Structure 1
Amino acid sequence: MAPIYPAFAVNKSDHLKVSDIHSIYYEDCGNPDGVPIVYLHGGPGGGIDDSDRQFFDPKHYRSILFDQRSCGKSTPSASLVANTTWDLVSDIEALRTHLGISRWIVFGGSWGSTLSLAYSQKHPDKALGLILRGIFTLRREELEWFYQKGADMVFADYSEAYKAPIPEEERGDMMAAYYKRLTGDDEEVKLKCAGAWSTWENSASKLLVDRAYIQRSENPKWALEFARIESHFFVNGGWMYEGQLIAEASKIAHLPIVIIQGRYDMVCPAKTSWDLYKALGGEGNQNVSYRVLGGCGHSAHERGVEEALVDACEEFKRLRK
């Protein structure tokens, strides 16, 4: 198991205008002549961190990272206008074309795995392969497990603060109740709900609760982008039919795919990754590798998950542009 690479600088960063109102921030890193790999961050609305590029060997890979619409350094901040799964898929293609890349490896975890699947199923000819972690496909049962009833049975103490901003009579649909407040006109309520929503998710993201990780939610800009954009995507079902990404998995079954799953992932439980693996052909498909990590939760930045992701990138070095 290999550790992440030491920190290294970005070769180039810039903004790409992708619509009348949206510009996305991107970073071009590593070997300019290397095998291209695109990193799709979580959330939606989470943005990229400097440590995210450290999964990729800078001598081998040309790694491309970007902040999805309206989060991180992309503009405008926290906007829900023209911000859907398919807008983001279009942005990935626009960025690939802008950078002159013919095909690339698609790398994503959590919401990033959702977007990786949506993009590669729409553009299978542009993907060299996929490295996926903590699979999330936006099925209603997945959303309800974490935001309605399921994970609160494990994180009962933290769930009280998540439920607190919502009156008892509206708790039958927590996502809708939060969305109403996060898109309302009361700025104080909006920020309070953004903090509670994002704190809840950060609390459950690692096998062992990480208080420093939770503190990200104290940044009001980050919390508002994260909570508003997530709730917007979730109440709209990602603008996909129920179960679409599992049902259409055959479109990418010919590609090399590694699926990495924390056994004790409370945000995106293992059932979803198992369903995807079976839809891709399971043991009968030699292109697909399914790896469950004992002693790991959801976050990409738990040591066991980090090492498994780096190992997958090492294995993919056999691929060429």
Structure 2
Amino acid sequence: MNHLFPAIKPFHTEMLQVSDGHTLYVEQSGTAKGVPILYLHGGPGAGMGEDYRRFFDPEKYWVIGFDQRGCGKSTPFGQLENNSSEKLVDDVLAIQQHLQIEKWLLFGGSWGSTLALLTAIRQPESVMGLILRGIFLAREQDYDWYLQADGGAAQLFPEYYQDFLAPVRSMLNEFSIVDAYSHIFARGNEVQKMAAIKAWSLWETRISRLHYRPDESKQLANVHSAISLALLECHYIKHKCFIPENDILQKIDKIKHLPSTIIHGRYDCVCKIEAAFSLSKAWDNSQLHIIPEAGHSSRAGNYSGIMPCHSSNADISKERT
């Protein structure tokens, strides 16, 4: 297949109160009689969007999506306090309990792949299988690839990297890149903050697609999403995503029995392809699909042909109970 399913609307939406004063926007689409599958968006802070529903056959899947803490329609918007990987896993399990789902599939892209892995490792007995795209393992080498001058992304896009450094260049003798951005987000004036938010978001936008469109900077479009993406990504990276170094691979034995499909674009410049290869190598029950002529983003057809969940992909839901 080389297309997505038709656009659909949720059949139910709600605001679910969780811990620490956070409330999550949760929506359900497809059929409540189908295989339950949870969509975990990227970022942190990107929010759901709408196209994600088109990955799934609405006649076969009960599709659940939510905006993670601090982004999208969840409240309070942009809140960094009590916003950590552990809290997000707590939220996933709270949604599962709220919807009275015994077992479900986890479907995550980019940071969503990280969160799916953390959730499965925490509670593998409640997971049927995983579908992961654009793997991010939250290791030091993954941060370096994305942020450092000698990392892969900066080497491939040196001119865009200079634009990324522009708001913080004068601070780099005193601060790291992430600490400099964090300082501006916390203490800068509104002009400085918005310039930094635009630079951070534009850096990811430019390197996430296989074919970047020069007018993309005019499409930063969704200022709401750009703000939460910049604030939350910076917050999480500053704290190493609240995950010990190499923690996911070291704990992979907890979920090695679960079936997994791992999908990665050959030319993904946000998340290095080595992460997908290393994860697959450590996970006996996984299948790795490296997609030629694809980058990081699942938009613009980069992953058409493998991403939609058709009946052939549903076999993962038959994992042993």
TM-score surpassing 0.5?
yes
After superposition, where does 1:1-321 map in structure 2 within 5 Å?
A: 1-149=1-149, 150=151, 151-170=153-172, 173-211=176-214, 214-280=217-283, 285=284, 287-310=285-308, 314-317=312-315, 319-320=317-318
How many residues of Structure 1 are paired with residues of Structure 2 in the alignment? 316
The alpha-carbon deviation at position 307 of structure 1 amounts to 2.4
Q: Aligned in 2, Cα 1:215/1:122: closer, same or farther, shift over 3 Å?
A: farther
Q: Which runs of 5+ in 1 are unaligned?
A: none
Letter in 2 for 1:115: L
Q: CA 1:85–1:214 in structure 2 vs 1: closer, same or farther (change >3 Å)?
A: farther
Per-residue CA shift, 1:14-34, capped at 9, x if unaligned?
Answer: 110012421000111111110
> 1:222: Cα distance to partner?
1.7
Contact kept, 8 Å, 1:13 with 1:26, in 2: the verdict is yes
- The percentage of counterpart residues that share the same residue type is 36
Q: Distance in 2 between matches of 1:169 and 1:178?
A: 9
Aligned residue identity for 1:135: I
Deviation at 1:227, TM superposition (A): 0.6
CA deviations over 1:30-57 (Å, ceiling 9, x no partner): 1111000000000000001111111010
User: Which 4+ residue blocks in structure 1 deviate beyond 6 angstroms?
Assistant: none
Partner AA of 2:64 in structure 1: I
Deviation by residue 1:236-281 (Cα, 9 ceiling, x = unmatched): 011111010111111111011000010100000101111111121x
The residue type equivalent to 1:38 in the other structure is L
CA distance in 2, matches of 1:109, 1:183: 28
Q: TM-score, normalised by structure 1?
A: 0.94
1:69-94: CA deviation from partner (whole Å, max 9, x where unpaired): 01000001101010000100000000
**Aligned with 1:273: secondary structure?**
helix
Give CA deviations for 1:171-216 in whole Å, capped at 9, x if unaligned: 6721121111112252221221111100100111011103565545
Counterpart residue identity of residue 69, structure 1: R
Letter in 1 for 2:288: Y
For 2:65 and 2:201, locate their aligned partners in 1 and report how far apart those are by CA, in whole Å: 22
RMSD, aligned CA: 1.8
Cα 1:233–1:318 shift into 2, 3 Å? closer
